[in-house]
Structure 1
Protein backbone atom coordinates (compact mmCIF):
# COMPACT_ATOMS: atom_id res chain seq x y z
CA UNK A 1 0.00 0.00 0.00
CA UNK A 2 1.53 3.29 -1.10
CA UNK A 3 -0.73 5.65 0.87
CA UNK A 4 -3.24 5.14 3.66
CA UNK A 5 -4.62 8.38 5.15
CA UNK A 6 -7.45 8.52 7.66
CA UNK A 7 -8.96 11.98 8.00
CA UNK A 8 -11.07 12.71 11.08
CA UNK A 9 -12.85 15.90 12.16
CA UNK A 10 -11.27 17.97 14.91
CA UNK A 11 -13.04 17.92 18.28
CA UNK A 12 -11.99 20.26 21.06
CA UNK A 13 -13.63 18.28 23.86
CA UNK A 14 -14.21 14.58 24.22
CA UNK A 15 -17.46 13.27 25.66
CA UNK A 16 -16.25 13.15 29.26
CA UNK A 17 -14.85 16.69 29.27
CA UNK A 18 -17.97 18.06 27.58
CA UNK A 19 -20.01 16.49 30.40
CA UNK A 20 -17.79 18.20 32.96
CA UNK A 21 -18.23 21.54 31.20
CA UNK A 22 -22.03 21.22 31.02
CA UNK A 23 -22.05 20.21 34.71
CA UNK A 24 -19.97 23.25 35.68
CA UNK A 25 -22.21 25.58 33.70
CA UNK A 26 -25.23 23.90 35.33
CA UNK A 27 -23.75 24.52 38.78
CA UNK A 28 -23.17 28.20 37.96
CA UNK A 29 -26.72 28.47 36.62
CA UNK A 30 -28.06 26.82 39.78
CA UNK A 31 -26.25 29.32 42.00
CA UNK A 32 -27.39 32.23 39.82
CA UNK A 33 -30.90 30.79 39.73
CA UNK A 34 -31.08 30.72 43.52
CA UNK A 35 -30.15 34.40 43.55
CA UNK A 36 -32.81 35.26 40.95
CA UNK A 37 -35.36 33.18 42.89
CA UNK A 38 -34.53 35.08 46.10
CA UNK A 39 -35.02 38.37 44.25
CA UNK A 40 -38.41 37.22 42.95
CA UNK A 41 -37.28 36.95 39.33
CA UNK A 42 -38.35 33.31 38.99
CA UNK A 43 -39.34 33.60 35.26
CA UNK A 44 -35.62 33.62 34.41
CA UNK A 45 -35.17 30.02 35.64
CA UNK A 46 -36.85 28.28 32.65
CA UNK A 47 -34.63 30.26 30.26
CA UNK A 48 -31.52 29.21 32.18
CA UNK A 49 -32.69 25.58 32.01
CA UNK A 50 -33.31 25.95 28.26
CA UNK A 51 -29.81 27.41 27.81
CA UNK A 52 -28.30 24.47 29.66
CA UNK A 53 -30.32 21.97 27.61
CA UNK A 54 -29.22 23.62 24.36
CA UNK A 55 -25.58 23.56 25.46
CA UNK A 56 -25.86 19.83 26.24
CA UNK A 57 -27.56 19.21 22.87
CA UNK A 58 -24.85 21.16 20.99
CA UNK A 59 -22.03 19.15 22.54
CA UNK A 60 -23.90 15.90 21.90
CA UNK A 61 -24.49 16.84 18.23
CA UNK A 62 -20.84 17.86 17.82
CA UNK A 63 -19.67 14.57 19.30
CA UNK A 64 -22.00 12.61 17.00
CA UNK A 65 -20.77 14.50 13.93
CA UNK A 66 -17.19 13.67 14.93
CA UNK A 67 -17.78 9.98 14.24
CA UNK A 68 -17.64 10.59 10.48
CA UNK A 69 -14.32 10.26 8.71
CA UNK A 70 -12.63 9.76 5.35
CA UNK A 71 -9.95 7.32 4.31
CA UNK A 72 -7.76 7.76 1.23
CA UNK A 73 -6.01 4.59 0.07
CA UNK A 74 -3.55 4.32 -2.82
CA UNK A 75 -2.48 0.79 -3.64
CA UNK A 76 -1.06 -0.94 -6.70
CA UNK A 77 -4.12 -0.52 -8.92
CA UNK A 78 -6.48 2.12 -7.51
CA UNK A 79 -6.89 5.29 -5.51
CA UNK A 80 -9.95 4.91 -3.30
CA UNK A 81 -11.73 7.44 -1.12
CA UNK A 82 -13.92 5.86 1.58
CA UNK A 83 -16.30 8.40 3.12
CA UNK A 84 -18.04 7.29 6.33
CA UNK A 85 -20.87 9.54 7.53
CA UNK A 86 -21.61 10.18 11.19
CA UNK A 87 -24.48 7.69 10.91
CA UNK A 88 -22.17 4.98 9.56
CA UNK A 89 -23.14 5.09 5.86
CA UNK A 90 -20.14 4.32 3.65
CA UNK A 91 -19.54 5.75 0.17
CA UNK A 92 -16.61 4.67 -1.95
CA UNK A 93 -15.08 6.63 -4.80
CA UNK A 94 -12.56 4.82 -6.99
CA UNK A 95 -10.02 6.51 -9.25
CA UNK A 96 -7.37 5.33 -11.70
CA UNK A 97 -4.11 6.64 -10.18
CA UNK A 98 -2.46 7.44 -13.52
CA UNK A 99 -5.30 9.77 -14.51
CA UNK A 100 -6.13 11.30 -11.14
CA UNK A 101 -5.07 14.84 -10.31
CA UNK A 102 -5.23 16.65 -6.99
CA UNK A 103 -6.76 20.09 -7.35
CA UNK A 104 -6.34 22.61 -4.53
CA UNK A 105 -8.61 25.60 -5.10
CA UNK A 106 -7.80 28.72 -3.10
CA UNK A 107 -10.64 31.11 -2.28
CA UNK A 108 -10.26 34.90 -2.01
CA UNK A 109 -10.79 34.64 1.76
CA UNK A 110 -7.77 32.36 2.22
CA UNK A 111 -9.65 29.08 2.41
CA UNK A 112 -8.65 26.03 0.38
CA UNK A 113 -10.68 23.17 -1.07
CA UNK A 114 -9.09 19.89 -2.16
CA UNK A 115 -10.55 17.77 -4.95
CA UNK A 116 -9.59 14.47 -6.55
CA UNK A 117 -10.32 14.82 -10.27
CA UNK A 118 -10.21 12.24 -13.04
CA UNK A 119 -12.04 11.87 -16.34
CA UNK A 120 -14.61 14.60 -15.72
CA UNK A 121 -15.39 13.61 -12.13
CA UNK A 122 -14.41 15.61 -9.05
CA UNK A 123 -14.76 14.58 -5.42
CA UNK A 124 -14.02 16.90 -2.52
CA UNK A 125 -11.66 15.60 0.17
CA UNK A 126 -11.46 16.62 3.83
CA UNK A 127 -14.21 19.25 3.88
CA UNK A 128 -14.27 19.08 7.70
CA UNK A 129 -10.57 19.95 8.03
CA UNK A 130 -9.07 23.41 8.43
CA UNK A 131 -7.56 25.14 5.38
CA UNK A 132 -3.89 24.44 6.34
CA UNK A 133 -4.75 20.79 7.00
CA UNK A 134 -6.49 20.51 3.61
CA UNK A 135 -3.44 22.00 1.87
CA UNK A 136 -1.21 19.47 3.65
CA UNK A 137 -3.50 16.56 2.74
CA UNK A 138 -3.59 17.72 -0.89
CA UNK A 139 0.21 17.89 -1.02
CA UNK A 140 0.51 14.44 0.58
CA UNK A 141 -1.88 12.84 -1.91
CA UNK A 142 -0.22 14.64 -4.84
CA UNK A 143 3.23 13.44 -3.72
CA UNK A 144 1.97 9.85 -3.37
CA UNK A 145 0.43 9.97 -6.85
CA UNK A 146 3.66 11.40 -8.30
CA UNK A 147 5.62 8.64 -6.60
CA UNK A 148 3.18 6.07 -7.98
CA UNK A 149 3.58 7.43 -11.52
CA UNK A 150 7.38 7.32 -11.43
CA UNK A 151 7.32 3.73 -10.24
CA UNK A 152 4.74 2.46 -12.75
CA UNK A 153 5.79 1.07 -16.14
CA UNK A 154 5.54 3.47 -19.06
CA UNK A 155 3.38 2.62 -22.04
CA UNK A 156 5.49 4.78 -24.38
CA UNK A 157 8.11 2.04 -24.69
CA UNK A 158 5.64 -0.48 -26.12
CA UNK A 159 6.33 -1.12 -29.82
Structure 2
Protein backbone atom coordinates (compact mmCIF):
# COMPACT_ATOMS: atom_id res chain seq x y z
CA UNK A 1 0.00 0.00 0.00
CA UNK A 2 1.34 3.43 -0.93
CA UNK A 3 0.14 6.47 1.03
CA UNK A 4 1.11 10.06 0.21
CA UNK A 5 0.91 12.70 2.94
CA UNK A 6 1.55 16.39 2.42
CA UNK A 7 3.23 17.68 5.57
CA UNK A 8 3.67 21.31 4.45
CA UNK A 9 3.80 23.14 1.13
CA UNK A 10 7.37 21.93 0.59
CA UNK A 11 7.39 18.64 2.54
CA UNK A 12 5.84 15.38 1.34
CA UNK A 13 5.95 11.90 2.78
CA UNK A 14 5.37 8.50 1.16
CA UNK A 15 4.63 5.54 3.42
CA UNK A 16 5.03 2.07 1.87
CA UNK A 17 3.48 -0.89 3.69
CA UNK A 18 2.63 -4.43 2.58
CA UNK A 19 -1.01 -5.25 1.91
CA UNK A 20 -2.62 -7.10 4.80
CA UNK A 21 -6.11 -8.53 4.65
CA UNK A 22 -6.37 -8.75 8.45
CA UNK A 23 -4.68 -7.10 11.42
CA UNK A 24 -3.46 -8.79 14.61
CA UNK A 25 -6.86 -8.73 16.30
CA UNK A 26 -8.60 -10.38 13.34
CA UNK A 27 -5.89 -13.04 13.10
CA UNK A 28 -6.31 -13.76 16.81
CA UNK A 29 -10.05 -14.24 16.27
CA UNK A 30 -9.36 -16.69 13.42
CA UNK A 31 -6.87 -18.58 15.60
CA UNK A 32 -9.35 -18.78 18.49
CA UNK A 33 -12.14 -19.98 16.18
CA UNK A 34 -9.91 -22.67 14.65
CA UNK A 35 -8.68 -23.73 18.11
CA UNK A 36 -12.25 -23.97 19.42
CA UNK A 37 -13.42 -26.14 16.53
CA UNK A 38 -10.30 -28.30 16.72
CA UNK A 39 -10.55 -28.83 20.48
CA UNK A 40 -14.26 -29.67 20.33
CA UNK A 41 -13.57 -32.25 17.62
CA UNK A 42 -10.53 -33.66 19.43
CA UNK A 43 -12.43 -33.88 22.75
CA UNK A 44 -15.30 -35.74 21.08
CA UNK A 45 -12.82 -38.19 19.59
CA UNK A 46 -11.02 -38.57 22.94
CA UNK A 47 -14.33 -39.39 24.67
CA UNK A 48 -14.87 -42.19 22.12
CA UNK A 49 -11.48 -43.68 23.00
CA UNK A 50 -9.06 -41.96 20.60
CA UNK A 51 -7.31 -39.99 23.36
CA UNK A 52 -4.07 -39.78 21.36
CA UNK A 53 -5.69 -37.11 19.18
CA UNK A 54 -5.53 -34.47 21.97
CA UNK A 55 -1.75 -33.86 21.96
CA UNK A 56 -1.70 -33.58 18.17
CA UNK A 57 -4.60 -31.13 18.26
CA UNK A 58 -2.57 -29.00 20.67
CA UNK A 59 0.44 -29.18 18.35
CA UNK A 60 -1.71 -28.07 15.41
CA UNK A 61 -2.93 -25.03 17.35
CA UNK A 62 0.62 -24.08 18.37
CA UNK A 63 1.87 -24.51 14.77
CA UNK A 64 -0.96 -22.38 13.36
CA UNK A 65 -0.33 -19.67 15.97
CA UNK A 66 3.41 -19.65 15.24
CA UNK A 67 2.80 -19.45 11.47
CA UNK A 68 0.40 -16.53 11.94
CA UNK A 69 2.86 -14.76 14.26
CA UNK A 70 5.79 -15.03 11.84
CA UNK A 71 3.64 -13.97 8.89
CA UNK A 72 2.35 -10.90 10.73
CA UNK A 73 5.86 -10.05 11.88
CA UNK A 74 7.09 -10.15 8.30
CA UNK A 75 4.19 -7.95 7.14
CA UNK A 76 4.79 -5.39 9.89
CA UNK A 77 7.58 -3.61 8.00
CA UNK A 78 7.33 -0.19 6.40
CA UNK A 79 9.37 2.23 4.35
CA UNK A 80 8.98 5.97 4.69
CA UNK A 81 10.31 8.44 2.11
CA UNK A 82 10.23 12.07 3.24
CA UNK A 83 11.17 14.96 0.95
CA UNK A 84 11.79 18.06 3.04
CA UNK A 85 14.02 21.13 2.69
CA UNK A 86 15.87 19.76 -0.35
CA UNK A 87 16.66 16.51 1.41
CA UNK A 88 15.27 13.00 0.90
CA UNK A 89 15.03 10.85 4.02
CA UNK A 90 14.66 7.08 3.67
CA UNK A 91 13.54 5.17 6.78
CA UNK A 92 12.93 1.44 7.05
CA UNK A 93 11.90 -0.69 9.97
CA UNK A 94 9.16 -2.43 11.91
CA UNK A 95 8.11 -0.69 15.13
CA UNK A 96 10.78 2.00 14.83
CA UNK A 97 13.19 3.03 12.05
CA UNK A 98 16.02 0.49 11.80
CA UNK A 99 17.56 2.29 8.82
CA UNK A 100 17.65 6.08 8.55
CA UNK A 101 19.43 7.61 5.54
CA UNK A 102 19.53 11.23 4.33
CA UNK A 103 20.43 12.34 0.82
CA UNK A 104 20.51 15.71 -0.94
CA UNK A 105 17.60 15.85 -3.38
CA UNK A 106 19.89 16.61 -6.35
CA UNK A 107 21.93 13.43 -5.68
CA UNK A 108 18.89 11.13 -5.89
CA UNK A 109 17.82 9.19 -8.98
CA UNK A 110 14.94 6.75 -9.15
CA UNK A 111 15.42 3.87 -11.58
CA UNK A 112 12.51 1.77 -12.73
CA UNK A 113 13.45 -1.46 -14.47
CA UNK A 114 10.88 -2.49 -17.01
CA UNK A 115 9.47 -5.95 -16.38
CA UNK A 116 10.83 -8.67 -18.64
CA UNK A 117 7.40 -10.29 -19.01
CA UNK A 118 4.01 -8.59 -19.20
CA UNK A 119 2.83 -9.53 -15.70
CA UNK A 120 6.13 -9.53 -13.79
CA UNK A 121 6.98 -6.90 -11.19
CA UNK A 122 9.04 -3.83 -12.10
CA UNK A 123 11.99 -3.05 -9.84
CA UNK A 124 12.20 0.44 -8.38
CA UNK A 125 15.61 1.51 -7.08
CA UNK A 126 16.77 4.65 -5.33
CA UNK A 127 20.32 5.50 -6.40
CA UNK A 128 22.15 8.10 -4.33
CA UNK A 129 25.78 8.81 -3.54
CA UNK A 130 27.01 5.63 -5.22
CA UNK A 131 24.60 3.27 -3.45
CA UNK A 132 21.45 1.54 -4.67
CA UNK A 133 18.45 0.89 -2.42
CA UNK A 134 15.50 -1.24 -3.57
CA UNK A 135 12.16 0.39 -2.80
CA UNK A 136 8.89 -1.37 -2.09
CA UNK A 137 10.06 -4.95 -2.56
CA UNK A 138 6.88 -6.06 -0.76
CA UNK A 139 4.52 -4.06 -2.99
CA UNK A 140 2.29 -5.63 -5.62
CA UNK A 141 2.32 -4.64 -9.30
CA UNK A 142 -0.27 -1.79 -9.24
CA UNK A 143 1.30 -0.33 -6.10
CA UNK A 144 4.75 -0.30 -7.69
CA UNK A 145 3.47 1.64 -10.69
CA UNK A 146 1.64 4.01 -8.33
CA UNK A 147 4.87 4.48 -6.34
CA UNK A 148 6.80 5.38 -9.50
CA UNK A 149 4.08 7.82 -10.54
CA UNK A 150 3.99 9.50 -7.11
CA UNK A 151 7.78 9.77 -6.96
CA UNK A 152 7.80 11.49 -10.34
CA UNK A 153 4.65 13.65 -10.24
CA UNK A 154 4.13 14.49 -6.56
CA UNK A 155 7.64 14.41 -5.11
CA UNK A 156 9.23 15.70 -8.34
CA UNK A 157 12.14 13.25 -8.28
CA UNK A 158 13.89 12.14 -11.45
CA UNK A 159 12.50 8.77 -12.50
CA UNK A 160 14.24 7.08 -15.42
CA UNK A 161 14.10 3.74 -17.11
CA UNK A 162 16.81 1.43 -15.80
CA UNK A 163 18.17 0.76 -19.30
CA UNK A 164 18.16 4.42 -20.39
CA UNK A 165 19.98 5.48 -17.23
CA UNK A 166 22.74 2.91 -17.74
CA UNK A 167 23.31 3.98 -21.33
CA UNK A 168 23.55 7.69 -20.55
CA UNK A 169 25.22 7.76 -17.13
CA UNK A 170 27.59 4.80 -16.84
Q: TM-score range by the shorter chain?
A: 0.7 to 0.9
| Deviation at residue 93 of structure 1 after TM alignment | 2.3
What is the SS of the residue equivalent to 1:82?
Answer: strand
Q: Give unmatched runs, 5+ long, in structure 1.
A: 150-159
Number of equivalenced pairs: 147
| Deviation at residue 9 of structure 1 after TM alignment | 2.5
- Of residues 97, 100, 113, the one that matches 2:123 is 113
Is the aligned partner of 1:130 residue 2:127?
no
Separation in 2 of the partners of 1:81 and 1:27?
44
**8 Å CA contact retained: 1:70, 1:81:** yes
2:30 is matched with 21
Give me the CA root mean square deviation.
Answer: 2.4
Q: Give unmatched runs, 5+ long, in structure 2.
A: 1-9, 159-170
Separation in 1 of the partners of 2:48 and 2:26?
33
Is the aligned partner of 1:50 residue 2:59?
yes
| Deviation at residue 123 of structure 1 after TM alignment | 0.5
**8 Å CA contact retained: 1:79, 1:95:** yes
Per-residue deviation, residues 105-137 of structure 1 (Å, max 9, x unmatched): 225461222111134321011122222212211
**8 Å CA contact retained: 1:101, 1:142:** no
Is the aligned partner of 1:95 residue 2:121?
no
What is the SS of the residue equivalent to 2:106?
Answer: coil
Is the aligned partner of 1:40 residue 2:64?
no
| Deviation at residue 79 of structure 1 after TM alignment | 1.4
Bigger strand share: 2
Is the aligned partner of 1:62 residue 2:45?
no
Q: Which has the larger radius of gyration?
A: 1
